[in-house]
């Protein structure tokens, strides 16, 4: 089975700082790591390989210094990691990103399944998976919480709002997985050591035969108009010794705010 997993290197969201003056995330303010949602995608790819045999390739797009963080995918069961890095990729929105990723997948040849996390912690759009599947012309199963392979077909549980769907699909297809699908493994010392010695393959826009007009700022119709950092509010605690009085005051506050 030829498995491709899409990953993104992001700053540690718990330590990263926001540059309010420039309206951007200061990515240099925190260590880089694999997007937490992508760890579930990597784990599911590794489990498919272990059950059915095959090969797992991780593809990521980012600056050249993302190489070290990307080696973590190898420690977690990936056979080869590919980093798409080129100044022409700079400023890409989800549409331009999906184009670059889909071109890299096409350059690899035949595959059975592409797996990605449902979203990234820095962008939180959840759009790239669906856009990549559209560009590749293959079925897309979003928000997948269970994935099996049997008799030449993938069987998935897809959770959309109030509905749960049991779906069968023939390869090739693209699946975005939720955090409920598995618990990502922790690499051991030997896996980390082997990953440190591994080479991350780098590819630029020319190698994936990309149209430069569809990359970076040129291929990104999305523009951020304004970013605001909300002030942290404080809770006003109150203790009511008289339940009836307390209930009346709570109802009055909810009514004044149009909540009931």
Instruction: Report the mean per-residue pLDDT for the chain.
Output: 91
What pLDDT, on a 0 to 100 scale, did the predictor assign at position 24?
A: 65
Q: What is the bridge-based pairing of β-strands 32-34 and 9-11? A: antiparallel
Q: How far apart are CA 164 and CA 144, in angstroms?
A: 10
Sorted by where each starts, the structural domains of the chain and their CATH numbers stand as 2-214 (3.40.50.620)
Residues 50-77: pLDDT tens digits?
999 999 999 999 999 899 889 999 999 9
Q: How far apart are CA 192 and CA 69, in angstroms?
A: 12
| Mean pLDDT of all residues in 95-118 | 96
What pLDDT, on a 0 to 100 scale, did the predictor assign at position 39?
A: 97
Query: Does 83 score more than 90 pLDDT?
Result: yes
Q: How far apart are CA 260 and CA 244, in angstroms?
A: 18
SS3 for 160?
A: strand
Q: How far apart are CA 246 and CA 259, in angstroms?
A: 17
Query: Does 19 score more than 70 pLDDT?
Result: no
Residue with tokens 């010695």: 197
| Mean pLDDT of all residues in 94-112 | 96
pTM for the whole structure: 0.83
User: Which residues, 6+ apart, have CB-to-CB distance to 140 below 8 Å?
Assistant: 129, 130, 133, 134, 173, 174, 175, 176
Query: Does 12 score more than 90 pLDDT?
Result: no
| β-sheet bridge partners, residue 83 | 60, 202
User: Which residues, 6+ apart, have CB-to-CB distance to 248 below 8 Å?
Assistant: none
Residues 135-167: pLDDT tens digits?
999 999 999 999 999 999 999 999 998 899 999
Q: How far apart are CA 128 and CA 215, in angstroms?
A: 14
Query: Does 78 score more than 90 pLDDT?
Result: yes
């Amino acid at each position: 089975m030829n498995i491709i997993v899409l990953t993104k290197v992001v700053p540690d969201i718990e330590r990263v700082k926001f540059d309010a003056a420039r309206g951007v995330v200061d990515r240099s303010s925190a260590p880089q790591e694999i997007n937490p949602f992508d760890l579930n995608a990597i784990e599911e790819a590794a489990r498919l390989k272990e059950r059915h045999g095959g090969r797992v390739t991780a593809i990521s797009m980012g600056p050249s210094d993302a190489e070290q963080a990307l080696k973590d995918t190898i420690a977690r069961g990936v056979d080869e990691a590919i980093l798409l890095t080129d100044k022409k990729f700079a400023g890409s929105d989800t549409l331009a990103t999906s184009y670059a990723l889909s071109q890299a997948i096409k350059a690899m040849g035949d595959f059975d399944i592409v797996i990605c996390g449902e979203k990234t912690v820095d962008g939180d759009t959840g759009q790239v998976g669906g856009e990549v599947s559209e560009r590749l012309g293959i079925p897309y199963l979003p928000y997948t919480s269970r994935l099996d392979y049997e008799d030449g077909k993938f069987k998935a549980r897809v959770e959309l709002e109030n509905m749960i769907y049991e779906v069968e699909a023939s390869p090739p297809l693209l699946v975005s997985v939720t955090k409920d699908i598995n618990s990502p493994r922790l690499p051991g010392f030997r896996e980390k050591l082997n990953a440190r010695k591994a080479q991350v393959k780098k590819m630029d826009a020319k190698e994936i035969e990309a149209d430069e007009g569809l990359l970076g700022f040129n291929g990104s119709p999305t523009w951020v108009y304004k970013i605001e950092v909300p002030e942290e509010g404080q809770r006003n605690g109150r203790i009511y010794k008289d339940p009836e009085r307390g209930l009346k005051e709570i109802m009055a506050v909810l009514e004044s705010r149009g909540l009931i």
